[in-house]
Amino acid sequence: MSSANNDPLRVIAAEAPRFSAEEAIAIAAQHYGLRVSATELISERDRNFRLRVDDGQEFVLKIANAAEDPLVTEFQVQALMHIEARQADIAVPRVVPSTHGRHSLVLQAREGSHVARLVTWLPGVPLAGRPRSPELCRNLGVYAAKLGRALSAFEHPASNQSLLWNMNAARRVKEITHHVRDPHLKELVTDCLDAFESAVFPLFATLRSQVIHNDLNPENVLVDPDDQRRVVGVIDFGDMVRSPLVVDVAVAASYMRDFAGNPLAPIAAFVGAYHSVTPLERREIDLVIDLILVRLATTVSILHWRTAERGADDPYLNSSASVESTAAKFLQVLCEIPRDHVRQTLRQACASIDVAGDRR
C-alpha cells in the first residue's frame, strides 16, 4: 500500500465520492445488467446506494473513497468471499460479480479513481435503538466469536490499512483531541490515550492477532425484526484490519451501553458469551476495559473533529448521532469504575461459562 494512503488522517478527512443515484442506476445497468431504483445510504467516507429490482432483489453498490488504496477494496471483497466459502454459521453480504465476472470495478470521477463493488442486501433491522437485553448481549457475543473464527485463517496484504478507527493508529488520535472543547472530557480522552500508548499498545505484538471486523457497532449488527434478541447478520467491513483479536471484543463491548442499571452487566454478558465460543486468555480479558476506553476516546475525538471540520449538518454526523452521541457519557461512567473491579467482573463472567457455552 502506498505511503500516501497510509495516513489515517488523510483517508478519514477525504470527501466522499460524488456520485448521484442516477449514476448508480446507470452503473448497475452497464456493469451488472440490473434495472434498479437507487437510494443513497449514509457512509463515513464512501458513497453507498441501496439498489432495488422490481422482482424484490436488493443490493448495495459501494463506491470507495478516492483516497483509499484499491487494495483495501480487494481486501474487503476477498474477506467476504472467504467467509462465504467457509459456510460460516453467520450471515454477511455476498459479493456479486459483474457481467464480465469481475468482483470490483474502477470508476473515474473528477476527484480521481474509485473502486466499486456490488454486494447483496441483508434482511434484518439494525440493532441501533433496540434494547440491550441480556439475551441479545449473549447472542451477539456468540455471533461475534463465530465471525472471528470465520476470519481466523484469512490473510491479505491490505490487512494493515491505516485508519483512525484502527487501534494500531490510536496514537494518531491525539492529533485531533484539541477539537474536544470540554476540559474535563478532553482530560479523560487524553488520559485514556496516554495510558494506552504507555501500557497497552506495547503488548500488542505479544497478543494473538488476525483479521477482525473492527466495527461491530449497532448500525452494523442486524437483528430479527420479529425477535430483536436474535442476531441475523453483520454488515460493513470497511474498517476491517489485522489486529489483536481482543480488540474486536472490546469494540463491540464499547456499544453495550446501559445507563439505567449496572453498566458492566451488558458488557459482561457479551464478553462471557464470546468466551464460550472462543476462550479468551486471562491477559486478554484484563485488557478489555482498557481497549473499550480507547475506542470510546477515539469515538469522542473523531466526532468532535468531524463537527469542527465538516459542520454540524454533516450527514454522517446526523446519521451516527443516535449510536455515537452517548460515547462521551459512557466514557465518563466507565472511568468512574475502578479498572480492577471491571477486570474481576469480566473474569467472573468468563469463569461462569465453559467453552461449550453452558453455564456451570
Q: How far apart are CA 174 and CA 143, in angstroms?
A: 33
What pLDDT score was predicted for residue 107? 92
Residue that is last in its domain, among 96, 122, 148: 122
175 and 244 share one domain: yes
- Specify the number of domains making up the chain: 2
Q: What is the pLDDT of residue 14?
A: 66
Q: Same domain for 112 and 146?
A: no
Task: Check whether residue 141 and residue 174 sit in a common domain.
Answer: yes
Is the predicted pLDDT of residue 32 greater than 50, yes or no? Answer: yes
Indicate the residue among 66, 89, 122 that finishes a domain: 122
210 and 227 belong to one structural domain: yes
SS3 letters for the chain? CCCHHHCHHHHHHCCCCCCCHHHHHHHHHHHHCCCEEEEEECCCCCEEEEEEECCCCEEEEEECCCCCCHHHHHHHHHHHHHHHHCCCCCCCCCEECCCCCCCCEEEEECCEEEEEEEEECCCCEECCCCCCCHHHHHHHHHHHHHHHHHHCCCCCCCCCCCCCCCHHHHHHHHHHHHHCCCHHHHHHHHHHHHHHHHHHHHHHHHCCEEEECCCCCCCCEEEECCEEEEEEEECCCCCCEEEEHHHHHHHHHCCCCCCCCCCHHHHHHHHHHHHHHCCCCHHHHHHHHHHHHHHHHHHHHHHHHHHHHHCCCCHHHHHHHHHHCCHHHHHHHHHCCCHHHHHHHHHHHHHCECCCCCEC
**Average predicted confidence (pLDDT) for the chain:** 90
Last residue of a domain, one of 122, 147, 180: 122
Least confident of 13-22, 84-93, 178-187, 256-265: 13-22
Q: Is residue 309 part of a domain?
A: yes
92 and 137 belong to one structural domain: no
CA 326/CA 300 separation, integer angstroms: 9
- Which pLDDT band holds residue 159 (cuts at 50, 70, 90)? very high
> Which residue in 26, 138, 27, 48 sits closest to 93, CA to CA?
48
163 pLDDT tier (thresholds 50, 70, 90): confident
Q: Is the dihedral of CA 234, 240, 243, 247 positive or negative?
A: negative
Q: Evaluate whether residue 62 is within a structural domain.
A: yes
Comparing 124 with 322, the larger pLDDT belongs to 124
How far apart are the C-alpha atoms of 270 and 284, rounded to whole Å? Answer: 14
In a domain, 295, yes or no: yes
Same domain for 77 and 146, yes or no, is no
Same domain, yes or no: 166 and 245? yes
Asked if the structure places residue 7 within a domain, the reply is no
Tell me whether residue 15 is in a domain: no
Q: What is the CATH number of the domain that holds 285?
A: 3.90.1200.10
Co-location of 80 and 165 in the same domain: no
Q: What is the mean pLDDT of residues 29-38?
A: 97
> Who's near 351: CB < 8 A, 6+ residues apart?
none
Instruction: Give residue 232's identity as a one-letter amino acid code.
Output: V
Model pTM score? 0.91
At 96-126, the pLDDT tens digits run: 999 999 999 999 887 778 999 999 999 999 9
CA distance linking residue 235 with residue 252, whole number of Å: 13
pLDDT at residue 306, rounded to an integer: 83
Kindly tell me if the per-residue pLDDT of 312 is higher than 80: no
CB 327, CB 293: distance < 8 Å: no
- Please report, for the domain that includes residue 37, its CATH number: 3.30.200.20
d(CA 210, CA 13): 27
Least confident residue range of 84-98, 135-149, 299-313, 333-347? 299-313
Does any domain span residue 11? no
- pLDDT for 17: 82
**How many angstroms separate the CA atoms of 98 and 121, rounded?**
16
Whether 89 and 232 share a structural domain: no
Domain that holds residue 141: 126-351
Check pLDDT > 50 for residue 291.
yes
Whether residue 5 is contained in a domain is answered as no
CA distance 218 to 50: 19
- According to the model, what pLDDT value does residue 110 have? 77
On whether both 201 and 310 belong to a single domain, the answer is yes
Using alpha carbons, select from 176, 336, 333 the residue that is nearest to residue 257.
333
The β-bridge partners of 105 are 116
Sign of CA dihedral 141, 142, 143, 145: positive
Residue 88 burial (CB count, 10 A): 15
CB atoms within 10 A of CB 182: 12
Give the span between the Cα atoms of 25 and 33, in whole angstroms: 10
Residues 119-137 have a mean pLDDT of 94
Q: 141 and 118 in one domain?
A: no
Tell me if 160 is assigned to some domain: yes
Max mean pLDDT range (116-125, 158-167, 319-328) = 116-125
* 107 plus 181 within the same structural domain: no
